[in-house]
Amino acid sequence: MVYANATWPDRAKMNIALIIERFDIALGGAERSVRQIAEQLEAMGHRTTILASVAPAAAPGVTALCGHQSRERVPFSRYRAALEAHLKTADYDIIHSTLPFDGADLYQPRGGSYAQAALRSAAAYPNPLITLFKRATGLANSRRRQYIRAERQLCSGSTVLIAALSDYVKRQFQRRYHLPDQRIALTPGGVKIPLPIDPDQAGHCERQVISALQADRSQATVLLFAANNFRLKGLHDLLNAMSVFKQRMPSHRLVLIVAGSGKQRPFRRLAARLNIDSDVYFAGYTDAVENYLAICDAAVLPTYYDPCSRFILEALALTKPVLTTRYNGAAEVYQHLRHGIILDEPNPIEPFVHGLTALSQPENRRHMSEAIRQDGLTQAVSIENHCTALINLYQSIYNQKHKTV
């Protein structure tokens, strides 16, 4: 089809498809981010449809192409065929995919490169022998292998643009697939602000934690760790560092809230073995982590891999000091020691303990919080900023697709 002098349409609304594997907010940050992107694009005057293989029947604005069982995994080959069939009959101006689908206009890998994710997941095992085994066998997983193959084909055999959530993700695609700069656009991650904090619920959470741990709130530093994969996000390293901190600074109490649906038992055992079980509160799954963020003094995520953590962005949006690693794209948003702590690695214990020591000092936290506010980080991590970058990208793609022939 030839378009004469077609440019970004003058009509107020663009029709945008957002492709995701499964749609269920409880599954994690990628699903929540796609929902917030859709809501923000709608607020900016565009039409959106979330395309998923499976989704709850009642999910508004979501088209489930392979059924309504929200937790079922559908083989990518089947979902791809369903996408191709749907797109033959639908009229979208922009097709934005979070999966390596070469029928899209842009690919935004919410989890970064599939191959890099597998390698970093292997590195997160405390036992080095298990790490070696996982590195050797990690690509044997048939589902992961299918996505890696599709990602490789997309990068080498198409012109689909890569929308990277961070420079960390951009570097992955440059190194692994040798993509030139013009194939990769930076679209820094964002979160919806202000966060919908419920003061009554936040107060209830705080009372639960303080009562369970018998803590003096005026004397304790409350840290929050939130994730669904405790191993990958470095909880074992955090517990080890807290144990050393407790031995060295017995007069300063650190209290840790662990929020998320990860497996608690091995980490409860580790906390008991390290003699810090009285300092750790396992909150379990929550769909309102912002209420825990509201009551904490600092957010900690010593992750082995995260393209751009929503949790860290949400903490910055609340001007909370943060601690994470350089394996988290969100670390690019803030400065070490000015706004929080950035570790090179999760596991050397000395830098970690030094970071916890810095966060244990109220004066340091006040300075960090004020710097976050002064430097405009709250707005920098907003979903508005993220969607503005996306719309600029959509415009460039649309004009390129419809340029005069």
Give pLDDT tens digits for 56-87: 877 888 999 998 776 678 999 999 999 999 99
Does the structure show a pLDDT above 50 at 110? yes
Q: Which pLDDT value is given to residue 3? A: 34
Instruction: Assign 273 a pLDDT band (cuts: 50, 70, 90).
Output: very high
**Hey, CA dihedral for 199, 204, 209, 210, is it positive or negative?**
positive
pLDDT attached to residue 70: 61
pLDDT reported for residue 158: 86
pLDDT of residue 218: 92
The burial of 59, by beta-carbon neighbours within 10 Å (0-12 exposed, 13-18 middle, 19 or more buried), is given as middle
CA 146 to chain centroid = 22
6 pLDDT tier (thresholds 50, 70, 90): very low
Does the pLDDT value for residue 1 go beyond 60? no
Break the chain down into helix, strand, coil percent, rounded to 5.
Answer: 50, 15, 35
Rounded mean pLDDT of 373-393? 97
Residue 179: its H or E element: none
For 241, the 3-state DSSP assignment is: helix
Q: What is the tens place of the pLDDT at every residue in 169-223? A: 999 999 999 999 999 999 999 999 999 999 999 999 999 999 999 999 999 999 9
pLDDT band at 9 (very low <50, low <70, confident <90, very high): low
pLDDT for the residue numbered 157: 86
Summarize pLDDT for 11-20 with one digit per residue, the tens. 458 999 999 9
Q: How far apart are CA 181 and CA 161, in angstroms?
A: 10
The predicted pLDDT at position 135 comes to 83
What are the C-alpha distances in Å from 58 to residues 24, 32, 70? 11, 16, 11
Supply the pLDDT for residue 142.
82
Residue 267: pLDDT band by 50, 70, 90 thresholds?
A: very high
> In this predicted structure, what is the pLDDT of residue 11?
44
- The span from the CA of 360 to the CA of 244, in Å, is 14
Give the per-residue pLDDT at 404.
44
CA 240 from chain center: how many Å? 24
With 0.85 as the threshold, say if the pTM is over it. yes
Query: Among all chains, which residue has been given the structure tokens 């419920």?
Result: 198
Closest CA to 53 of 143, 188, 184, 113: 143
> What is the mean pLDDT of the segment spanning 246-254?
96
Mean pLDDT confidence for 35-61? 92
224 has a pLDDT exceeding 70: yes
pLDDT at res. 263: 95
Task: Report whether pLDDT(241) > 50.
Answer: yes
User: Which residue has better confidence, 109 or 22?
Assistant: 109
For the cut 70, the answer to whether the pLDDT of residue 352 exceeds it is yes
pLDDT band at 8 (very low <50, low <70, confident <90, very high): low
**Token pair listed for 271:** 């906390």
Rounded distance between C-alpha atoms, residue 266 and residue 272, angstroms: 10
pLDDT, tens digit (0-9, with 9 covering 90-100), for 132-156: 888 877 767 788 899 999 999 999 9
Strands of the sheet containing 340-343, edge to edge, are 280-284, 253-259, 220-226, 298-301, 322-325, 340-343
H or E element, residue 48: strand 47-54
Cα–Cα distance, 61 to 265 (Å, whole number) = 38
Q: Which residue matches tokens 């419809």?
A: 402
Give the per-residue pLDDT at 143.
Answer: 86
pLDDT surpassing 90 at residue 401: no
Q: Write down the mean pLDDT value for the chain.
A: 93
Q: What is the mean pLDDT of residues 231-258?
A: 98
Residues 372-384 have a mean pLDDT of 97
Q: How far apart are CA 327 and CA 303, in angstroms?
A: 7
**Tokens for 108?**
């935004």
Residue 31 pLDDT grade (very low, low, confident, very high; cuts 50, 70, 90): confident
Question: Which residues does 89 contact at the CB level (< 8 Å), separation at least 6?
Answer: none
Distance CA 190, CA 309 (A): 9
Which domains does the chain show, CATH number per domain? 15-190+383-401 (3.40.50.2000), 199-380 (3.40.50.2000)
